[in-house]
Structure 1
Amino acid sequence: MRSDESTLRYYTAGYNGLAKFFHWLVVILIAAQFVIGWTMPDIQKDTRPEGLIAWHLGVGAALIAVVLLRIIWRLVHSPAPAQVSPFLRVVSHITHGLLYLALLAVPLLGWANASSRGWSVKLFGLLPYPAIAPVGSSVGYAMGDIHGYLAWVLFALIALHIAGALFHRFILKDRVLQRMLP
């Protein structure tokens, strides 16, 4: 086998099926959260968790579960690294690290805010998550504001991640993007 063929085989070694499933499920859940979050009514002191707000809580609960499963899977099943320059490898690690951090922090802050309001957060409307802030907690209420701002940071990181994938596909013309495609 020629060396360029073995390199291509290593280079195209992508993520396994479950990693891809988790990735694209997170994409769907995040897209749903942004649509729901953008269209739901503003939350006031006397707001009840009904309608779109209830949907936002439910999708957020699912997002926490899927992101945790994704992180566990990633720690146990690391894909072969893409063959990119050392600079791009560092940028990739930083971007992915910040994405994972934001994917955990944003829903956790929302969960803390919901807990401070006495709202129940349930996975699939059935499995209740424990409260992580006391009812009436001013810190828990503040977490709601941080949740909203950090959601925009997450959105920017996602845009950067997509731009990086497109950069690999159309500028570098390598196969990094194909590693996560079904």
Structure 2
Amino acid sequence: MRTEPNLVYSAPARVLHWLTAGLLLIQFVLAWTMPDVHRDTKPVGLIAWHLGVGMAILLLVLVRCLWRSTHAVPPEPVTLPLALRALARYTHRALYALLIAVPLIGWANASSRGWPISLFASIPMPPLSPTGSPTGHALGDWHRNFAWVLLALVAMHVSAALFHHFILRDRTLIRMLPSSDKR
């Protein structure tokens, strides 16, 4: 089965999508397996990895936003009810917002702990809150809560893609798969 090339996402858009998905999967695994963060916790081991992957996600999503702002989204191959189209649009917007907000809030929380933040373990980033900031410390709870909301939206996004593929039997999922222009 071949999908019309003008209906698939561009190769860069697909790569950015799947890189984000892969980093997000790694990030959630790190979050579940790293030790709890307390007052005396040091940013080493899995926590250091969590901070680094969070910065990579933030950079990647900002690149995705730039790409998306300069490249049109391919037209939908199917006609969906207005309510489903609106739900998809708002879910995507919420995903982008949380993919930016969660790392930023985590960065501010880490800054309030005096933890150094770097991009790719080599480029130092400025603190987003002063060391000892009560607001920065409180953002740790927001970081965790928003991460749960992000996880729920990701689950909804994946479920919707599978619903399109297996129930509606349309090309929505195929448009984002690698080499989908050859299918």
TM range (shorter): over 0.9
* 2:4 paired residue number: 9
User: Which of 1 and 2 has higher RCO (CA within 8 Å, sep 6+)?
Assistant: 2
Q: CA deviation at 1:129?
A: 1.4
Matched, 1:84 2:84: no
Give me the identity figure in percent: 52
Q: Distance in 1 between matches of 2:103 and 2:7?
A: 32
Matched, 1:67 2:50: no
Q: TM-score, with normalisation over the residues of structure 2? A: 0.92
* 1:116 paired residue number: 112
Aligned length in residues? 175
* Per-residue deviation, residues 51-94 of structure 1 (Å, max 9, x unmatched): 00000001011011001001110111122221332222111101
User: Partner of 1:128: helix, strand, or coil?
Assistant: strand
Q: CA deviation at 1:130?
A: 1.1
Structure 1 segments (4+ residues) deviating >4 Å? none
Q: Which runs of 5+ in 1 are unaligned?
A: 1-7
Match of 2:103 among 90, 104, 107: 107
Q: Distance in 1 between matches of 2:54 and 2:4?
A: 38
Q: TM-score, with normalisation over the residues of structure 1? A: 0.92
Match of 1:175 among 149, 171, 177: 171
Q: Distance in 1 between matches of 2:117 and 2:9?
A: 32
User: Partner of 2:72: helix, strand, or coil?
Assistant: coil
Q: Distance in 2 between matches of 1:84 and 1:73?
A: 26
Match of 1:126 among 100, 122, 128: 122
1:163 maps to amino acid: S
